[in-house]
Every structure is written in C-alpha cells, then in structure tokens.
C-alpha cells in the first residue's frame, strides 16, 4: 500500500526541519521499502501570506485524505497582532479539531547521551520515560462561550470556558489506559478537582473507567502538584493523562527535563489511528533559516508516524536507533551541545541520521 503523507512545513524553522524529514523519508524508501507519496501544503503564517487563511481549504482537504500528516511548526511575531482567526495558531487548532485528533501523545524520553544537557541533576532525570496523554480537541481551548466583552463600568473584559462532556473525557481516558497498559501500567490523571467542576467530572469519569482496566493502577494529582513533582522526581510517573491546557503546560516542562525541547516528538491521533505528527517545540523564528534548529524532534515524530499510522514499527525502531547512535558519536546541534562535543547544524544532523539509516 502506498502511504499518502501530507507535509505541512509551516513557519520559522518548520521548513528547515521539514527538509530533514524529507531526507529521512527518501532513505526509508530507497533502503527499507517505505512506499509513499508526499504532498507538501501551506499552513500557518506561510498560508496567511498567500491566501489570508492559516488553514486554506486545499490544505484541509489534503489533510483529510492523507494517511498521516507531518507538521513542522507555525507562528511568528509578524502575525501576533492579527485578529485571532487569522493567526497561524488558529490554523493548527482548526486542523486538530476538524480531523478529530483528540489524543495527543507526548513522550518525554531522556537519551542517556543527553543527561548532562538537562536543566536538572542527571541523577533526577536518569532513565526518564514519561508519556503525557493530552486531550487535544476540547477543554478551554475550544469551550464556548469565549469572547472579549466589557463590564458594566466599560472596562475591557474577556472570558473562555473550560468544558468537557463525559464522552470526551471517556475517550481520552480510554486512550490513556490503553497506552499505560503497554507501558508500566501506571496512569496518573492530572486535574484541578479541588477547585473546578469540570475537573471533578474528569476525575469521576476516570474512576469509572478504571473498572475496565484492572491491570492499570490509576492515581490522581492536582495540576499544581504535578508541575512540582515533574521537576522534583519525574521518574515517579509512567503515563499521565490530562486536559488540553494542563497538558500544554506540563508537556513543555517534561520536555525540558530531557535536555531540550528540540528532542521531543508528538502524535495526535483520531479514533481510527490516523494521525498528525509534530515536534512539541515551536517555530523559533529567531533561528529560522540559520541552520541551527535541531531536526531530531521532527525526525522522531516521523518515527512515531511510521509506528502509529503506517504500521511500520520496524522503521520507527530503525529511526530511533539511528538517533541514538548519532548522539553516541558525539554529534550535537547547538541546543544540546556542551563544550566537548562536535556541533553541527540542522542539515548536518539530518544528513548524519540519513547516513546511519543506509
Ligand atoms: C502545542 C502548542 C500549541 C498549543 C499552540 C501553538 C497553539 O503550544 O502544541 O503545545 O497550545 O497547543
Ligand atoms: Mg505547547
């Protein structure tokens, strides 16, 4: 079967890292039997410049037909003053919502070679392997009503709604229990049930689901404590499940434990295993086009794509092992380098991974 892959490079360093993903895909095709077509489409600021829309109809249509989507990064200061629906971020949120990509898997794994690059003591992060399962199409990101307004005194005001229906909680809960089941069978649900109605419902539904997964140990933690525990003793966690906003915040924290946010991939899956794969990091406009971005989060996202959407777990293993071996050689992009290592650029790192795959 020929896999129909849609590539959305986006903005900032997005196109830089997308080029390295293409390089890796080509090697997987020529050397390891990956059969694919690649369709590159505009999204984010790049699309706004051409058509005024961060998610043009043609791009959405291509994404709908794809078997998998590889997404670079979006956003930049030049679009920050645009009306909200004409910002790059709105294109990404619409894409997640329109495609029903509710299950966002964000693994935080420390490559042992990078223990010194972590902001935390190497003993605290040793063997780190946490999976954050973030709900991606609901919660305060999408809740209605949401608007700007003014109060009775004419002051500016604004509001958003954090809402979850029980079916939305149950489907991300099931995805998280399933994920925990094939890991170390420990699931920590993170909420703010001491304050928020929506979190109490979240907790109730998680507890109800637990009956169907007797082999998985479910615990609960308030989000403020979870933020603290992630930097105090991250190894206490196996799998974390949480809502959209809390997951956004905690996944950046978890990323930094691994040394650099430039190392972290993610998968956003729908109910049928179709997925969008993107690095957790943003578009880093300050280093765009300078050959300094770390392409490894993108390349590791490509590996997740092979595993979850293309039924080619063997290729995922190959790519992940190539990343480990290139790090073993001492090759580093600037974000993960310390003085003793060989610093290379975006394309140097991509080329090294590609060579390792031959
Ligand atoms: C992420 C990003 C996005 C989010 C932004 C770019 C809209 O921070 O994927 O974590 O908040 O979900
Ligand atoms: Mg984020």
Q: What is the pLDDT of residues 32-71, one digit of tens each?
A: 999 999 999 999 999 999 999 999 999 999 999 999 999 9
Check residue 189 and give its pLDDT: 99
pLDDT over 70 percentage in the chain: 100
Q: How confident is the model at residue 25 (pLDDT cuts 50, 70, 90)?
A: very high
**Which one, of 249, 275, 255, lies nearest residue 140 by Cα?**
249
How far, in Å, is the centroid of ligand 1 from the Cα of 133? 14
- Asked whether 92 lines ligand 1 (CB < 6 A), one says yes
How far, in Å, is the centroid of ligand 1 from the Cα of 78? 18
| Ligand 1 mutation target, pool 89, 108, 261, most atoms within 8 A of CB | 89
Closest ligand by atom to 142 CA: 1
- Asked whether 89 lines ligand 1 (CB < 6 A), one says yes
> What are the catalytic residues?
141, 192, 224, 248, 252
Q: What angle do CA 288, 97, 191 make, to 5 degrees?
A: 90
How far, in Å, is the centroid of ligand 1 from the Cα of 90? 10
**What count of residues does the chain have?**
358
pLDDT tens-digit series, residues 187-218: 999 999 999 999 999 999 999 999 999 999 99
Contact 71, 297 (CB under 8 A): no
Q: Output b/e per residue, 108-130; b: 16+ Cβ within 10 A.
A: bbbbebbbebbebeeebbeebeb
Whose C-alpha lies nearest to ligand 1, atom 5? Answer: 89
Other C-beta atoms lying within 10 Å of the C-beta of residue 290: 13
| Ligand 1 mutation target, pool 10, 55, 136, 248, most atoms within 8 A of CB | 248
Nearest atom, ligand 1, residue 278 CA: 9
Q: How confident is the model at residue 340 (pLDDT cuts 50, 70, 90)?
A: confident
DSSP string, 296-354: HHHHHHHHHHHHHTSS-HHHHHHHHHHHHHHHHTTEE-GGG--TTSEE--HHHHHHHHH
Question: Which H or E run contains 262?
Answer: none
* Average pLDDT value over all residues in the chain: 96
pLDDT tens-digit series, residues 238-277: 999 999 999 999 998 998 898 888 999 999 999 998 999 9
pLDDT tens-digit series, residues 211-239: 999 999 999 999 999 999 999 999 999 99
Whose C-alpha lies nearest to ligand 1, atom 4? Answer: 248
Q: What angle do CA 245, 251, 256 make, to 5 degrees?
A: 140
pLDDT tens-digit series, residues 63-94: 999 999 999 999 999 999 999 888 999 999 99
CATH code reported for the domain at 1-102+263-358: 3.40.718.10
Whose C-alpha lies nearest to ligand 1, atom 6? Answer: 89
Alpha-carbon distance 340 to 331, whole Å? Answer: 10
Provide the 3-class DSSP secondary structure of residue 293: coil
Structure tokens at 68: 């998998």
Alpha-carbon distance 25 to 232, whole Å? Answer: 38
**Which one, of 328, 322, 283, lies nearest residue 303 by Cα?**
322
pLDDT tens-digit series, residues 126-170: 999 999 999 999 999 999 999 999 999 999 999 999 999 999 999
Check residue 220 and give its pLDDT: 98
Alpha-carbon distance 105 to 280, whole Å? Answer: 10
Closest ligand by atom to 96 CA: 1
CA dihedral 223, 228, 229, 235 (to 10 degrees): 110
Provide the 3-class DSSP secondary structure of residue 156: strand
- Asked whether 252 lines ligand 1 (CB < 6 A), one says no
Say which CATH topology domain 129-257 has: Isopropylmalate Dehydrogenase (3.40.718)
Contact 60, 44 (CB under 8 A): no
Phi, psi of 7 (to 5 degrees): -105, 125
How far, in Å, is the centroid of ligand 1 from the Cα of 289? 22
How far, in Å, is the centroid of ligand 2 from the Cα of 249? 6
Whose C-alpha lies nearest to ligand 1, atom 8? Answer: 248
Closest ligand by atom to 44 CA: 1
Q: Start-end ranges of CATH 3.40.718.10 in the chain?
A: 1-102+263-358, 129-257
How far, in Å, is the centroid of ligand 1 from the Cα of 329? 33
Whose C-alpha lies nearest to ligand 1, atom 12? Answer: 248
Q: Helices (H), strands (E): how many in the chain?
A: 12, 14
Other C-beta atoms lying within 10 Å of the C-beta of residue 36: 17
Nearest atom, ligand 1, residue 136 CA: 12
């Amino acid at each position: 079967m020929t896999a129909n892959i849609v590539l959305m490079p986006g903005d900032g360093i997005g196109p830089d890292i997308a080029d390295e993903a293409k390089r890796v895909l080509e090697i997987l095709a020529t050397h390891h039997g990956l059969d694919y077509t690649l369709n590159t489409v505009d999204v984010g600021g790049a699309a706004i410049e051409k058509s005024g829309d961060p998610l043009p109809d043609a791009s959405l249509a291509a994404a709908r037909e794809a078997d998998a989507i590889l997404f670079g990064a979006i956003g930049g200061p030049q679009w920050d003053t645009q009306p909200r629906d004409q910002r790059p971020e709105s294109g990404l949120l619409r894409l997640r919502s329109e495609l029903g990509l509710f299950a966002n898997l964000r693994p935080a794994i420390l490559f042992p070679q990078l223990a010194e690059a972590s902001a935390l003591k190497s003993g605290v992060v040793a063997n780190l392997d946490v999976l954050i399962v973030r709900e991606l199409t609901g919660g305060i990101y999408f809740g209605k009503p949401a608007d700007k307004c003014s109060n009775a005194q004419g002051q500016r005001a604004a509001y958003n709604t954090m809402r979850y229906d029980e079916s939305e909680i149950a489907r991300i809960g099931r995805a998280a229990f399933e994920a925990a089941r094939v890991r170390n069978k420990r699931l920590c649900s993170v909420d703010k049930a001491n304050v928020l109605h929506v979190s109490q419902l979240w907790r109730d539904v998680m507890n109800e689901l637990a009956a169907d997964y007797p082999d998985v140990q479910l615990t609960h933690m308030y989000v403020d404590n979870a933020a603290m525990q992630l930097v105090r003793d991250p190894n206490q966690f196996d799998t974390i499940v949480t809502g959209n906003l809390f997951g956004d915040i905690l996944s950046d924290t978890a990323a930094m434990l691994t040394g650099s946010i430039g190392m972290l991939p993610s998968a956003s899956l729908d109910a049928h295993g179709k997925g969008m794969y993107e690095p957790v990091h943003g578009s880093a406009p300050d280093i765009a086009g300078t050959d300094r971005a770390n392409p490894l989060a993108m390349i590791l996202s490509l590996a997740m794509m092979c595993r979850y959407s293309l039924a080619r777990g063997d290729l995922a293993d190959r790519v992940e092992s190539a990343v480990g071996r290139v790090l073993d050689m001492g090759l580093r992009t600037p974000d993960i380098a310390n003085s003793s290592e060989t610093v290379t650029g975006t394309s140097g790192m991509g080329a090294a991974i590609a060579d390792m795959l031959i």
